């Protein structure tokens, strides 16, 4: 395979809301370039991009797939990404290594909630953007409305390059405002014929062409001078102005495509070839030390791993972008995070599951290798003596959690190990054992994300599991002061056990005044690892309890706080005053006072109007205005408190506070209500009191569960 230098490489990422046609666009691009000789279809399960079994089962992209084309002496690396926000990690990793984003827009809907979510990620990376208004062959296509929605959502930088002459089922012609010609496509799609712009379209085309010229001229003083002098710009000057505008986010070119009919894709590829920036023209990468590192093939080698894929029969496939220098099939590079040496034996250019061997890749290029022993996503490999670490990708926090239960107890340990491997492939999927909940917790971006994980567990690793709602991390506290005492006495031959503790407990809040009814001899403020505080006072006078037993009393209180009296949840925000007691000169010991302290605390707690607290989450839902009422109605059934409503383009952003206990399977419910057009994010806010009737029910359930166990 031909080796391309750093001046002849383009890296693009295909983005878009679900059903916007990204995968077919990728298929067209490979077909137009001659990489494939027959276009696959989603229904035929034979596209180059959606090559994984689960993608073919579902009929949509699940993974980011790396492809390439060779077009007019340029190599164009293409990364086709999933549209669902559940797979945001795949999008973000791809965005990180791309130099230009191609954002597919469904001509029926224009800018959607899914588009806005993707746009937020695009803005984070500040990459040049090309819009492809796709599916203009659909009977309900509305190009003008789609274009207007883009301008409304993303501003005046949205720049029209083309428009369809006859959108809908008869679509076959595009007016190109850069070249000022009409492209007419054969019925089967492919290479179009060029025609003069029809008289009926000339006035509109000339007006839009002049707007395009002005937009290009705005990006460079020399071009502006040329525009004022000549009243126009030639095609090369237009390209130069558009490229500068793209790099500075002042121009977002808009193209017309029908991926299904293979119409318009070749012209867009020509624009990418001529105008989209190369890695040399893109913004340099940054290191963790805050330094910029340019894409320079003359420097020592460094590469950044942006994706890891593990196949049971093949091993680990690592996808990377060469940041500087050259990488060969015999390179030895050092992992900057682990210090281990990685020896390369093979290099590939990927086209879906097809591996095309190459001998060398230069700065700016994207490739893959097999079986790196100790390197994973987000890690940097570099030449000896060239010590750099590329800034890692910041992946989004998980939004939902489920407990993983093996159907066979023999698989318990193996499940944790396999989920660890899956996390190495997908950092947005997190796994860990919760000591508090006593469950293996899997955290993900959404239920679709979890469903894919379960598919892998069952189909690839042959592990049968159930995903169930995790237990809720309740907290327990009290609402009024209470005193109690407990005498622990045990005599069974030989040395006995004796300890008596009198204590008072109170609700604690920051800034509350110090106790005055007792003489304070010592105070300990404990920041609890599960949140809140325990403030413990030693108020013993006259030596009724020896000072050496006070830590044992505290230990007993702490043990009970780790397993609260109501539901076994953690206790928080209590202060305890040990003010009296008794001891025995022979039988008193640490264990006696630990037990006495624990039982006195439990008794006082149950009499102090115990209060169960539940975790409350801030919920932010982006939803089209026309279905906001349905979403609000659903929230009301979930004990939600509406905090406000904002506007984001054509969408409404509902802000609410909702108990975690009411968010079970919310992502599925929201997707059903909105037909996939809404999205949400959630973040822990605080703990709040559980309603009394619900607290009674939970306490009863906890008692019954304890009796059964």
Q: What does the mean pLDDT of the chain come to?
A: 92
Same domain assignment for residues 370 and 436: no
- Kind and range of the H or E element at 581? strand 574-582
Give me the pLDDT at residue 110, please.
Answer: 93
- Of 81, 84, 55, nearest in space to 67 by CA: 81
Same domain assignment for residues 19 and 93: yes
Out of 419, 444, 468, pick the residue that ends a domain: 468
The answer to whether residue 610 scores a pLDDT higher than 70 is yes
Same domain assignment for residues 604 and 618: no
Same domain assignment for residues 587 and 620: no
Give the CATH number for residue 666.
3.30.70.240
The answer to whether residue 172 scores a pLDDT higher than 80 is yes
More confident residue, 678 or 308: 308
Q: Which long-range contacts (CB under 8 A, 24 or more apart) does 538-545 make?
A: 538/578, 539/515, 539/577, 539/578, 539/579, 540/578, 540/579, 540/580, 540/581, 544/580, 544/581, 544/582, 544/583, 545/501, 545/578, 545/581, 545/582, 545/583, 545/593
Same domain assignment for residues 448 and 413: yes
pLDDT for 115-143, tens place per residue?
A: 988 998 998 999 999 999 999 999 999 99
pLDDT for 617-639, tens place per residue?
A: 999 998 888 889 999 999 999 99
The answer to whether residue 702 scores a pLDDT higher than 90 is no
Q: Mean of the pLDDT values across residues 333-337?
A: 96
For the chain, give the percent of residues with pLDDT over 70: 99
Q: Is residue 3 part of a domain?
A: no
Same domain assignment for residues 616 and 644: yes
Q: Is residue 701 part of a domain?
A: no
- Of 411, 407, 413, 449, nearest in space to 433 by CA: 413
Give me the pLDDT at residue 73, please.
Answer: 83
Q: Is residue 135 part of a domain?
A: yes
Q: Mean of the pLDDT values across residues 541-555?
A: 95
Q: Mean of the pLDDT values across residues 681-708?
A: 85
Give me the pLDDT at residue 606, please.
Answer: 95
Q: Which domain holds residue 257?
A: 9-203+249-274
**DSSP class of residue 86?**
G
- Of 394, 317, 429, 399, nearest in space to 96 by CA: 394
Give the CATH number for residue 436.
3.30.70.870
The answer to whether residue 676 scores a pLDDT higher than 90 is no
Give me the pLDDT at residue 226, please.
Answer: 84
Same domain assignment for residues 183 and 309: no
Q: Is residue 211 part of a domain?
A: no
- Kind and range of the H or E element at 247? helix 235-247
Q: Is residue 365 part of a domain?
A: yes
Q: Is residue 152 part of a domain?
A: yes
Q: Is residue 665 part of a domain?
A: yes
CA gap 51, 388 in Å, rounded: 35
Q: Is residue 226 part of a domain?
A: no
* Helix intervals (H) in 126-234: 143-154, 199-217, 221-230
Q: Are 269 and 76 in contact (CB under 8 A)?
A: yes
Give the CATH number for residue 493.
3.30.230.10
Q: Mean of the pLDDT values across residues 680-697?
A: 92
Q: Are 560 and 478 in contact (CB under 8 A)?
A: no
Q: Side-chain half-sphere of 194: how many Cα atoms within 13 Å?
A: 5
Give me the pLDDT at residue 677, please.
Answer: 78
More confident residue, 493 or 146: 146
Q: How many domains does the chain have?
A: 5
Give me the pLDDT at residue 675, please.
Answer: 77
Same domain assignment for residues 621 and 670: yes
Exposed e or buried b for every residue in 658-676, given b needs 16+ CB within 10 A?
Answer: bbbbbbeebbebbbebbeb
Q: Is residue 657 classed as helix, strand or coil in its secondary structure?
A: strand
Same domain assignment for residues 331 and 407: no
| Count of beta carbons in the 10 Å neighbourhood of residue 457 | 23
Q: Are 379 and 411 in contact (CB under 8 A)?
A: no
Q: Mean of the pLDDT values across residues 574-583?
A: 97
Same domain assignment for residues 548 and 651: no
Give the CATH number for residue 344.
2.40.30.10
**DSSP class of residue 249?**
T
Q: Mean of the pLDDT values across residues 169-173?
A: 95
pLDDT for 369-413, tens place per residue?
A: 998 999 999 999 999 999 999 999 999 888 888 999 999 888 888
CA gap 628, 681 in Å, rounded: 16
Same domain assignment for residues 181 and 293: no
Q: What is the separation, in whole angstroms, between the first and last Cα of the chain?
A: 65
CA gap 644, 629 in Å, rounded: 14
Radius of gyration of the chain from its Cα atoms, rounded to whole angstroms: 32
Same domain assignment for residues 584 and 624: no
Give me the pLDDT at residue 436, please.
Answer: 87
Backbone angles phi, psi at 161, to 5 degrees: -105, -25
Out of 439, 468, 497, pick the residue that ends a domain: 468
Give me the pLDDT at residue 659, please.
Answer: 96
Where are the strands (E) in 264-394, listed by range?
A: 285-286, 292-293, 302-311, 315-324, 326-328, 332-335, 341-343, 347-351, 354-358, 360-362, 366-370, 380-382
Out of 409, 441, 468, pick the residue that ends a domain: 468
Facing residues of 612 across strands? 476
DSSP 6-36: TTSEEEEEEEESTTS-HHHHHHHHHHHTTS-
**Token output for 446:** 């959404």
Q: Mean of the pLDDT values across residues 697-703?
A: 86
């Amino acid at each position: 395979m031909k080796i391309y230098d750093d001046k002849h490489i383009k890296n693009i990422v295909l983005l878009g809301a679900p059903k916007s046609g990204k995968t077919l666009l990728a298929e067209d691009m490979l077909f137009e370039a001659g990489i494939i000789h027959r276009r696959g279809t989603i229904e035929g399960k034979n596209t180059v991009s959606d090559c994984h079994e689960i993608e073919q089962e579902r009929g949509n992209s699940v993974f980011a797939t790396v492809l390439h084309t060779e077009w007019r002496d340029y190599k164009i690396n293409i990364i086709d990404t999933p549209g669902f926000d559940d797979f945001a990690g795949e999008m973000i990793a791809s965005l990180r290594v791309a130099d230009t984003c191609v954002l597919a827009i469904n001509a029926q809907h224009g800018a959607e909630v899914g588009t806005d979510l993707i746009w937020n990620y695009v803005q984070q990376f500040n990459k040049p953007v090309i819009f492809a208004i796709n599916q203009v062959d659909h009977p309900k296509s509305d190009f003008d409305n789609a274009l207007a929605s883009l301008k409304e959502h993303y501003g005046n930088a949205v720049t029209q390059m083309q428009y369809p002459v006859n959108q809908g089922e008869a679509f076959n012609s595009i007016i190109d405002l850069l070249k000022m010609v009409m492209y007419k496509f054969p019925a089967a799609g492919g290479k179009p014929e060029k025609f003069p712009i029809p008289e009926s379209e000339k006035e509109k085309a000339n007006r839009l062409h002049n707007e395009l010229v002005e937009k290009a001229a705005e990006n460079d003083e020399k071009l502006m001078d040329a525009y004022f002098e000549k009243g126009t710009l030639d095609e090369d000057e237009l390209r130069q102005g558009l490229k500068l505008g793209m790099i500075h986010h002042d121009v977002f070119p808009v193209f017309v495509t029908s991926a299904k009919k293979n119409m318009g894709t070749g012209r867009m590829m020509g624009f990418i070839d001529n105008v989209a920036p190369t890695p040399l023209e893109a913004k340099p990468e940054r290191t963790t030390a805050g330094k910029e590192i340019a894409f320079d093939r003359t420097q020592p080698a460094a590469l950044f791993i942006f994706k890891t894929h593990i196949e049971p029969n093949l091993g680990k496939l690592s996808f990377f972008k060469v940041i500087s220098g050259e990488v060969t099939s015999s390179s030895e590079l050092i992992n900057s995070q682990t210090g281990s040496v990685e020896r390369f034996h093979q290099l590939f250019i990927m086209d879906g599951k097809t591996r095309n061997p190459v001998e060398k890749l230069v700065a700016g290029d994207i490739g893959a290798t097999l079986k790196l022993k100790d390197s994973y996503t987000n890690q940097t490999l570099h030449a000896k003596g060239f010590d750099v670490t590329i800034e890692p990708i910041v992946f989004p926090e998980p939004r939902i959690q489920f407990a993983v239960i093996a159907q066979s107890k023999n698989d318990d340990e193996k499940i944790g190990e396999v989920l660890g491997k899956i996390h190495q492939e997908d950092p947005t999927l997190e796994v860990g054992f919760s000591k508090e909940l006593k469950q293996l917790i899997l955290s993900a971006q959404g239920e679709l994300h979890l469903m894919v994980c379960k598919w892998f567990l069952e189909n690839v690793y042959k592990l049968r599991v159930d995903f169930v709602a995790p237990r809720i991390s309740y907290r327990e506290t009290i609402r009024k002061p209470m005193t109690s005492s407990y005498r622990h006495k045990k005599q069974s031959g030989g040395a006995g056990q004796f300890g008596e503790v009198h204590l008072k407990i109170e609700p604690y809040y920051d800034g509350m005044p110090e106790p005055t009814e007792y003489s304070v001899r010592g105070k300990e403020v404990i920041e609890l690892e599960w949140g809140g505080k325990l403030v413990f006072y030693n108020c013993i006078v006259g030596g009724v309890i020896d000072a050496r037993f006070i830590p044992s009393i505290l230990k007993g209180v702490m043990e009970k706080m780790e397993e609260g009296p109501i539901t076994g949840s953690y206790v928080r925000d209590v202060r305890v005053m040990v003010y009296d007691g008794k001891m025995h000169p022979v039988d008193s010991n640490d264990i006696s006072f630990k037990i006495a302290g624990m039982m006195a605390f439990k008794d006082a707690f149950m009499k102090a109007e115990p209060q169960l607290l539940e975790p409350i989450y801030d919920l932010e839902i982006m939803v089209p205005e026309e279905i906001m009422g349905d979403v609000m109605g659903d929230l009301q059934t979930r004990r939600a408190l509406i905090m406000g409503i904002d506007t984001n383009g054509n969408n409404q952003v509902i802000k609410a506070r909702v108990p975690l206990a009411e968010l079970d399977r919310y992502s599925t419910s929201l997707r059903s209500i909105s037909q996939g057009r809404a999205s949400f994010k959630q973040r822990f806010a605080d703990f709040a009191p559980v309603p009394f009737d619900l607290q009674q029910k939970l306490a009863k359930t906890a008692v019954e569960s304890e009796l059964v166990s």
